[in-house]
A and B are shown apart, each in its own frame.
Chain A
Amino acid sequence: MAELAASSAAAVPPSRLRRFLDSDLLWSFRRSPVTVVASIVATIIIVGALTAAWIAPQDPFDLASLSLLDASNPPAWLEGGSWAFPLGTDNQGRDVLSAILYGTRLSLVVGLSAVLLALLIGVALGLMAGWRGGFVDTLIMRIADVQLSFPAILIALLIDGVARGILPREVQSEIALYVLIAAIALSFWVQYARTVRGSTLVERNKEYIQAARVIGVHPVRIVLGHLLPNVIGPVLVIATINLALAILTEATLSFLGVGLPPTQPSLGTLIRVGNDYLLSGDWWISIFPGVVLALLILSVNLLGDWLRDALNPKLR
Chain B
Amino acid sequence: MIAFVVQRVFQAVLVMLVVALIAFALFNFVGDPINSMVGQDTTIADRERLRQELGLNDGFVVQFARFVAHAAQGEFGLSYQQARPVGQIILEKMPATLELSFVAAALALLLGIPMGIYTGLHRRALSSQLLLSISLIGVSLPTFLIGILLILVFAVILNWLPSFGRGTVVHFGWWSSGLATLEGWRAIIMPAVTLALFQMTLIMRLVRAEMIEVLRTDYIKFARARGLTNRAINFGHALKNTLVPVITITGLQLGSIIAFAIITETVFQWPGMGLMFIQAVTFVDIPVMAAYLVLVGFFFVVINLVVDLLYYVVDPRLRIEREQVAGG
B156 at the interface (CB under 8 A from A): yes
Q: Mark A277-291, 1 if CB is under 8 A from B, else 0.
A: 011010100110010
Which one of A21-29, A214-222, A292-300 is at the B interface?
A292-300
A226 at the interface (CB under 8 A from B): no
- Other-chain residue from A157, A166, A279 in contact with B156 (beta carbon distance below 8 A): A279
Contacts of B151 in A (CB 8 A): 278-279
Q: Are A255 and B266 in contact (CB under 8 A)?
A: yes
- Other-chain residue from A151, A157, A161, A301 in contact with B140 (beta carbon distance below 8 A): A301
- Other-chain residue from B255, B280, B286 in contact with A151 (beta carbon distance below 8 A): B255
Give chain B interface residues in 147-204, CB to chain A under 8 Å: 148-149, 151-152, 155-156, 163
Q: Are B142 and A248 in contact (CB under 8 A)?
A: yes
Contacts of A114 in B (CB 8 A): none
B220 at the interface (CB under 8 A from A): no
A287 to chain B, nearest CB (A): 7
B175 to chain A, nearest CB (A): 25
Contacts of B18 in A (CB 8 A): 146
Q: Are A294 and B140 in contact (CB under 8 A)?
A: yes
From known contacts A252-B142, A271-B145, infer whether A161 and B263 are also in contact, taking CB-CB under 8 Å.
no
Rounded to whole angstroms, the CA-CA distance of A301 and B30 in the bound complex is 37
Q: Are B142 and A294 in contact (CB under 8 A)?
A: yes
Contacts of B256 in A (CB 8 A): 151
Rounded to whole angstroms, the CA-CA distance of A247 and B297 in the bound complex is 26
A204 at the interface (CB under 8 A from B): no
B277 and chain A: residue at smallest CB distance: A157
From known contacts A165-B286, A278-B148, A278-B156, infer whether A258 and B142 are also in contact, taking CB-CB under 8 Å.
no
Q: Are B259 and A257 in contact (CB under 8 A)?
A: no
A164 at the interface (CB under 8 A from B): yes
Q: Mark B277-301, 1 if CB is under 8 A from A, else 0.
A: 1101110101001000100110011
Q: Mark A241-283, 1 if CB is under 8 A from B, else 0.
A: 0001000100110011110000000000001000100110101
- Other-chain residue from B142, B266, B267, B280 in contact with A293 (beta carbon distance below 8 A): B142
Contacts of A151 in B (CB 8 A): 255-256, 259-260
Q: Are A278 and B266 in contact (CB under 8 A)?
A: no
Q: Are A149 and B30 in contact (CB under 8 A)?
A: no
Give chain A interface residues in 120-154, CB to chain B under 8 Å: 146, 149-151, 153-154
Contacts of A275 in B (CB 8 A): 148, 267
A190 to chain B, nearest CB (A): 14
From known contacts A154-B296, A283-B152, infer whether A161 and B260 are also in contact, taking CB-CB under 8 Å.
no
A53 at the interface (CB under 8 A from B): no
Q: Are B145 and A290 in contact (CB under 8 A)?
A: yes
Q: Are A298 and B137 in contact (CB under 8 A)?
A: yes
Q: Are A251 and B286 in contact (CB under 8 A)?
A: no
Give chain B interface residues in 296-323, CB to chain A under 8 Å: 296-297, 300-301, 304
Q: How many residues of B contact A (CB 8 A)?
A: 46
Q: Are B137 and A149 in contact (CB under 8 A)?
A: no
Which of A146, A256, A271, A301: most chain B Cβ within 10 A?
A: A256
B303 and chain A: residue at smallest CB distance: A149
A157 and chain B: residue at smallest CB distance: B281
Rounded to whole angstroms, the CA-CA distance of A275 and B146 in the bound complex is 12
Give chain B interface residues in 102-140, CB to chain A under 8 Å: 136-137, 139-140
Q: How many residues of A contact B (CB 8 A)?
A: 36
Contacts of A283 in B (CB 8 A): 152, 156
A162 at the interface (CB under 8 A from B): yes
Contacts of A248 in B (CB 8 A): 142
Q: Are A158 and B260 in contact (CB under 8 A)?
A: no
A160 at the interface (CB under 8 A from B): yes
B164 to chain A, nearest CB (A): 9
Q: Are A146 and B142 in contact (CB under 8 A)?
A: no
Contacts of B156 in A (CB 8 A): 278-279, 281, 283
Q: Mark A81-125, 1 if CB is under 8 A from B, else 0.
A: 000000000000000000000000000000000000000000000
Which of B31, B256, B280: most chain A Cβ within 10 A?
A: B256
B220 to chain A, nearest CB (A): 23
B79 at the interface (CB under 8 A from A): no
From known contacts A257-B282, A258-B278, A294-B140, infer whether A149 and B300 are also in contact, taking CB-CB under 8 Å.
yes
Q: Are B300 and A161 in contact (CB under 8 A)?
A: no
Q: Are A271 and B148 in contact (CB under 8 A)?
A: yes
Contacts of A160 in B (CB 8 A): 281
Q: Are A271 and B144 in contact (CB under 8 A)?
A: yes
- Other-chain residue from A150, A165, A256, A293 in contact with B278 (beta carbon distance below 8 A): A256
From known contacts A161-B280, A162-B30, A257-B282, infer whether A252 and B296 are also in contact, taking CB-CB under 8 Å.
no
Rounded to whole angstroms, the CA-CA distance of A165 and B284 in the bound complex is 6
Rounded to whole angstroms, the CA-CA distance of A56 and B121 in the bound complex is 50
Rounded to whole angstroms, the CA-CA distance of A293 and B18 in the bound complex is 36
Rounded to whole angstroms, the CA-CA distance of A294 and B138 in the bound complex is 10
Contacts of A153 in B (CB 8 A): 259-260, 262-263
Rounded to whole angstroms, the CA-CA distance of A166 and B259 in the bound complex is 24
Q: Are A165 and B142 in contact (CB under 8 A)?
A: no
B90 at the interface (CB under 8 A from A): no
Q: Are B284 and A161 in contact (CB under 8 A)?
A: yes
From known contacts A278-B152, A290-B148, infer whether A252 and B282 are also in contact, taking CB-CB under 8 Å.
no
Given contacts A251-B144, A257-B278, A287-B149, 8 further A-B contacts (CB under 8 A): A252-B143, A255-B266, A257-B282, A279-B156, A283-B152, A294-B141, A298-B136, A301-B139
11 residue pairs of the A-B complex, CB under 8 angstroms, read A157-B262, A157-B277, A161-B284, A162-B26, A165-B284, A248-B142, A252-B143, A255-B263, A275-B148, A283-B156, A294-B145
Residues of B within 8 A of A (CB): 15, 18-19, 22, 26, 29-31, 136-137, 139-145, 148-149, 151-152, 155-156, 163, 255-256, 259-260, 262-263, 266-267, 277-278, 280-282, 284, 286, 289, 293, 296-297, 300-301, 304
Residues of A within 8 A of B (CB): 146, 149-151, 153-154, 157-158, 160-162, 164-166, 244, 248, 251-252, 255-258, 271, 275, 278-279, 281, 283, 286-287, 290, 293-294, 297-298, 301
